């Protein structure tokens, strides 16, 4: 089952930092040669190709099996040869493979997971095996993998051969940008695969802790990041009542903006505000009732606008000691599905103020600014 699908409009050191105070940014020193700026810009999506010094990588040794190889036929079939755990050779033939999902020269294919024989399905537990499953799909063959510790979680990035992206750079930036935030639950293992753009969404996340993105760039050049959006989805460990379903996409969108603004100096709160201002408020829609959305992505637009105001209220009320990231973590610690009343309570626990306006903002239509004027609690980041 897909947890979140990105189909939105446009696009530290010192140990484990908690999001109870605004984290320090990654600052690019102007004393260093200008090429350093080009390196960072490249890894995020612009500038000339350049390498980034990696952080601590986890074990990337490759197993001896199944070592799958891929050969595409002229009739739309793909043959996958592989070695079983006992050492014998075997193969499976998959019919009617979308030609956009196979690269015979680079040696990989994307197939429906149900085609995997038991040996390949078992090998998928190890991303280095050449078999990685993402929801109901399987990536098989020549895959590059990079795994890193990222705060209280582990992030693994997988890139099929021939796609112009470096998994070590992608895992590096994911780890650097998300490590300052304690999102809970602890010990989470996450996998993000860079997939061919023939897949139906810019990104999609599944309940088994896997996701794919079809956008090679880490940063969209403004404020967004599909990579961070899907990562936030991967850390959503709570259940929600129907009245809070909107929070799933709204938090992935807003928190990915906020992480970029706090961790990358080329993105500012003004950029976040500009992006939010460009999104429709859908004033006739009610967040708590998807039947009022009329097929529009209200959770991607009205939702993030509300969460900006909620985050501002938390930061103002707590004098910057707490943020929406703390509420996100608290949601993950709940034993019961999230309700509007519980969300309000958690916000008030962290802001120290009466936030009754939140209930109206979620359950009533109307202009978003009528509930709370945007203040400037983000200016001291």
* pLDDT bracket for residue 63 (50, 70, 90): low
Residue 87 vs residue 330, higher pLDDT: 330
- pLDDT surpasses 80 at 18: no
User: What was the pLDDT predicted at 39?
Assistant: 42
- Closest residue by Cα to residue 228 from 196, 266, 264: 264
- Closest residue by Cα to residue 170 from 196, 195, 148: 148
Beta strands at 69-72 and 78-83: parallel, antiparallel or unpaired:
antiparallel
- pLDDT, one tens digit per residue, over 164-205 is 999 999 999 999 999 999 998 777 899 999 999 999 999 999
**Cβ(195)–Cβ(214) under 8 Å?**
yes
**Structure tokens that stand for 247 in this block:** 């929070």
User: What was the pLDDT predicted at 6?
Assistant: 52
**Structure tokens that stand for 262 in this block:** 């706090």
Cβ atoms within 10 A of the Cβ of 17, count? 16
- pLDDT surpasses 60 at 48: no
- List, edge to edge, every strand of the sheet that includes 89-94: 69-72, 78-83, 89-94
Long-range contacts from 323-326, C-beta under 8 angstroms, 24+ separation: 323/19, 323/20, 323/22, 323/350, 324/251, 324/254, 324/255, 324/258, 325/19, 325/181, 325/182, 325/183, 325/255, 325/258, 326/18, 326/19, 326/20, 326/350
Q: How far apart are CA 310 and CA 361, in angstroms?
A: 10
**Beta strands in the chain, from DSSP E residues, in sequence order:** 2-6, 69-72, 78-83, 89-94, 102-103, 108-112, 131-134, 137-141, 143-150, 153-160, 188-194, 203-206, 210-213
3 state DSSP class of 17: coil
- Mean pLDDT taken over the chain: 85
- pLDDT surpasses 80 at 378: no
- pLDDT surpasses 50 at 32: no
User: What was the pLDDT predicted at 60?
Assistant: 55
Comparing 218-227, 305-314, 364-373, the range with the smallest average pLDDT is: 364-373
The full DSSP string for 232-268 is: HHHT----B-GGGTHHHHHHHHHHHHHHHHHHBTT--
| Mean pLDDT confidence for 306-327 | 96
Calculate the CA 341 to chain-centre distance.
Answer: 27
User: What was the pLDDT predicted at 36?
Assistant: 39
- List, edge to edge, every strand of the sheet that includes 2-6: 2-6, 203-206, 210-213, 188-194, 153-160, 143-150
**Cβ(225)–Cβ(270) under 8 Å?**
no
User: What was the pLDDT predicted at 147?
Assistant: 96
* pLDDT bracket for residue 341 (50, 70, 90): very high
- Closest residue by Cα to residue 152 from 190, 110, 204: 190
* pLDDT bracket for residue 44 (50, 70, 90): low
The full DSSP string for 41-102 is: HHHHT-SS--------BPP-PPPSS---EEEE-TTS-EEEEEE-TTS-EEEEEE-S--GGGE
Partners of 69 in the β-ladder: 81
Comparing 27-31, 165-169, 176-180, 228-232, the range with the smallest average pLDDT is: 27-31
User: What was the pLDDT predicted at 4?
Assistant: 60
């Amino acid at each position: 089952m897909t947890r979140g699908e990105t189909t939105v409009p446009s696009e530290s050191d010192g140990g484990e930092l908690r999001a109870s105070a605004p984290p320090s940014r990654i600052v690019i020193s102007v004393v260093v040669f200008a090429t350093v700026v080009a390196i960072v810009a490249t890894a995020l999506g612009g500038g000339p190709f350049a390498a980034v010094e990696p952080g601590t990588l986890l074990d990337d040794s490759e197993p001896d099996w199944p070592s799958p190889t891929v050969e595409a036929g002229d009739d739309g079939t793909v043959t996958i040869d592989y070695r079983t755990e006992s050492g014998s050779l075997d193969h499976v033939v998959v019919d009617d493979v979308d030609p956009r999902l196979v690269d015979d020269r680079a040696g990989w294919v994307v197939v429906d997971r149900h085609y995997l024989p038991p040996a390949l399905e078992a090998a998928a537990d190890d991303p280095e095996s050449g078999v990685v499953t993402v929801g109901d799909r399987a990536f098989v063959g020549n895959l590059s993998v990079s795994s890193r510790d990222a705060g209280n979680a582990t992030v693994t990035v997988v890139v099929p051969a021939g796609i112009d992206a470096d998994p070590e750079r992608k895992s590096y930036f994911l780890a650097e940008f998300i490590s300052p935030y304690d999102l809970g639950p602890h010990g989470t293992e996450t996998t993000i695969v860079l997939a061919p753009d023939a897949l139906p969404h810019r990104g999609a996340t599944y309940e088994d802790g896997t996701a794919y993105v079809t956008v090679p760039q880490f940063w969209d050049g403004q404020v967004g990041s599909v990579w961070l959006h899907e990562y936030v989805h991967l850390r959503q460990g709570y259940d929600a009542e129907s009245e809070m379903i909107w929070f799933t996409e709204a938090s992935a969108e807003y928190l990915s903006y906020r992480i970029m603004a706090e961790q990358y100096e080329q993105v500012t709160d003004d950029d976040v505000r500009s992006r939010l201002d460009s999104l429709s408020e859908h004033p006739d829609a009610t967040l708590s009732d998807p039947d009022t959305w009329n097929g529009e992505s209200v959770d991607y637009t009205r939702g993030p606008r509300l969460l900006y105001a909620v985050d501002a209220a938390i930061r103002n009320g707590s004098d910057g000691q707490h943020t929406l990231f703390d509420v996100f973590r608290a949601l993950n610690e709940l034993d019961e599905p999230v309700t509007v009343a519980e969300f309000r309570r958690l916000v008030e626990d962290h802001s120290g103020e009466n936030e009754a306006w939140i209930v109206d903002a979620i359950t009533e239509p109307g202009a978003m600014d009528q509930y709370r004027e945007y203040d400037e609690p983000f200016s001291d980041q």
